[in-house]
Amino acid sequence: MSRHLTVAFCFALALITFGAFVELGNSVVAHGEPGVFVPWESSLFDHSTLVAWWLTWACYPAVLIPVSIAVLALAWRFSEWRVRLILSVASLLISWRAADYFQHVFERARPVDWVVKHETTFSYPSSHAAIATGFYALLALMILTSDLPKTTRNVAGSLLVLLALAICWSRLALGAHYITDLVGGTLLGMVVACLVLGVLAGGVLGGVGGRVSSAAE
């Protein structure tokens, strides 16, 4: 696929995904949580609570700030990864703030049952799911499509994907969100990730090295 087609695909996918995100938000605000999801939410609620609590911290500032500093330090050290790593941190910040913004747009109330921490902000979309997708999963994709050694790619990429999935699970286990909140947050994170990948494919910020850049040439 040519560079221009890759950029167009990324931006088109971002637009389609954003449309799905808005449609889902309007639907759950108007009609509530689909009944098919309620048994799943009940079965996951209040299980492995301590593990869920530690996982949910992966998207709190106390963890995100040092992680972001570490990523930026790696970007300074490894020039071939600089653009990708800087954009991954930018994606984190955008996903985080976008989720907060749209929570105030949709104003969906949190579930009434909760454990460990009663969160009082709005529910849709889940900022944890947005960050898990727009940062951790995006990093996983960048690693998996890089020229790092195969074992390094597979191990590091798989661990980041599992972390993103586990973070979403933790929000259900703690009763902090509905499943549709997590789907909405994932869609929003995908929007940001697609825009970042479009920028990378376009090469507007310079060479990025590895397979991400070569695939766009």
pLDDT attached to residue 10: 94
Please report the pLDDT score of residue 1 as a whole number.
65
Q: Band the pLDDT of 211: cuts 50, 70, 90.
A: very low
Q: What is the mean pLDDT of residues 69-73?
A: 97
Average pLDDT over residues 77-90: 94
Query: Taking the domains of the chain in order of start, what are their residue ranges?
Result: 3-211
pLDDT of residue 201: 78
Residue 212 has pLDDT above 90, yes or no: no
Close Cβ partners of 131 (under 8 Å, ≥ 6 residues apart):
59, 64, 92, 95, 96, 99, 167, 189
